[in-house]
């Protein structure tokens, strides 16, 4: 029986507005440089992949890693943009309400799960910027815990991250269901740690609102598969 659920944040409970590239494009335009969102989307993905993210981490490591990613993105830009000012601007932009919106059904799903007296945590590889975003969109009051690498010392898919979530929720891994959009960080990571897992694909079924029905599936009464 499922007694607790953990949710990824970006790409599962919330999504950027209009997109990751769109936020970068909007902020960069404030510096007088107009770059299409599509360009930022491609370059950001390339920069993020080029920077190795250690599973064991700290607040200092997380900040430094983001600075490395954004530095690569900056170096690919035309012109002579002041990196320090631009980094601060784009970094803080993702902490603002207007840069994010809840995924369809996110609020209703969390409300329904709360009504079932299930314990709920957000388990994200993001940082402290997540807290004001979840508060601004009225998602924070609907969960019991919000866990991020700067506070736990680990990033998904490290089993320690999932184990810490279960500990704080007071649930056994086999009684816990993780929902996320990343096949590696969320699904493989959760199953390796002994949790059940549901792969959320934005825009495709099962939608978040179907999670309540999924909890009655006989598959979730079985031992999680690795």
> Distances in Å between the alpha carbon of 11 and those of 48, 72, 74, 211, 218?
16, 23, 24, 16, 27
Q: Terminus-to-terminus CA distance in the chain, angstroms?
A: 18
pLDDT score of 44 more than 90: yes
Q: What is the mean pLDDT of residues 153-170?
A: 98
pLDDT score of 9 more than 90: yes
pLDDT score of 154 more than 80: yes
pLDDT score recorded for residue 219 = 54
Angle, CA 195 vertex, CA 189 and CA 200 arms, to 5°: 65
pLDDT score recorded for residue 208 = 78
Q: Report the distance separating Cα 101 and Cα 134, nearest Å.
A: 10
pLDDT tens, 97-116?
999 999 999 999 999 999 99
Looking at 3.40.190.10, 3.40.50.12780, 3.40.50.1000, 1.10.1740.10, the CATH number of the domain 4-15+100-221 comes to 3.40.50.1000
Q: What is the mean pLDDT of residues 15-44?
A: 97
**7: three-class secondary structure by DSSP:** strand
pLDDT score recorded for residue 177 = 97
pLDDT score recorded for residue 212 = 78
48 phi and psi angles, rounded to 5 deg = -65, -40
Q: What is the mean pLDDT of residues 149-170?
A: 98
Q: What is the mean pLDDT of residues 114-136?
A: 97
Percent over 70 (pLDDT), the chain: 93
Task: Pull the structure tokens for residue 45.
Answer: 């993905």
pLDDT tens, 182-216?
999 999 999 999 999 999 988 765 567 778 777 76
**171: three-class secondary structure by DSSP:** coil
Who's near 136: CB < 8 A, 6+ residues apart? Answer: 96, 97, 100
Q: Report the distance separating Cα 67 and Cα 174, nearest Å.
A: 37
Instruction: Kindly report the pTM of this predicted structure.
Output: 0.93
pLDDT score recorded for residue 225 = 58
């Amino acid at each position: 029986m499922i007694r607790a659920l953990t949710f990824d944040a970006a790409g599962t409970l919330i999504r950027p507005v209009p997109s990751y590239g769109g936020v970068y494009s909007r902020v960069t335009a404030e510096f007088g440089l107009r770059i299409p969102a599509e360009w930022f989307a491609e370059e950001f993905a390339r920069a993020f992949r080029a920077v190795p993210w250690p599973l064991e981490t700290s607040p200092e490591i997380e900040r430094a890693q983001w600075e490395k990613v954004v530095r690569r993105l900056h170096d690919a830009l035309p012109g002579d943009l002041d990196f320090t000012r631009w980094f601060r601007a784009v970094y803080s932009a993702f902490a603002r309400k207007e840069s994010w919106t809840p995924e369809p059904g996110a609020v209703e799903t969390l409300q329904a799960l709360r009504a079932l007296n299930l314990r709920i945590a957000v388990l994200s590889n993001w940082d402290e910027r997540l807290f004001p975003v979840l508060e601004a969109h009225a998602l924070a009051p609907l969960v019991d815990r919000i866990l991020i690498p700067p506070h736990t010392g680990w990033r998904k898919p490290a089993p320690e991250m999932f184990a810490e979530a279960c500990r704080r929720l007071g649930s056994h891994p086999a009684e816990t269901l993780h929902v996320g959009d990343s096949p590696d960080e969320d699904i493989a990571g959760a199953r390796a740690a002994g949790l059940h897992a549901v792969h959320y694909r934005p825009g495709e079924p099962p939608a978040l609102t179907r999670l309540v029905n999924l909890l009655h599936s006989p598959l979730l009464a079985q031992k999680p598969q690795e």
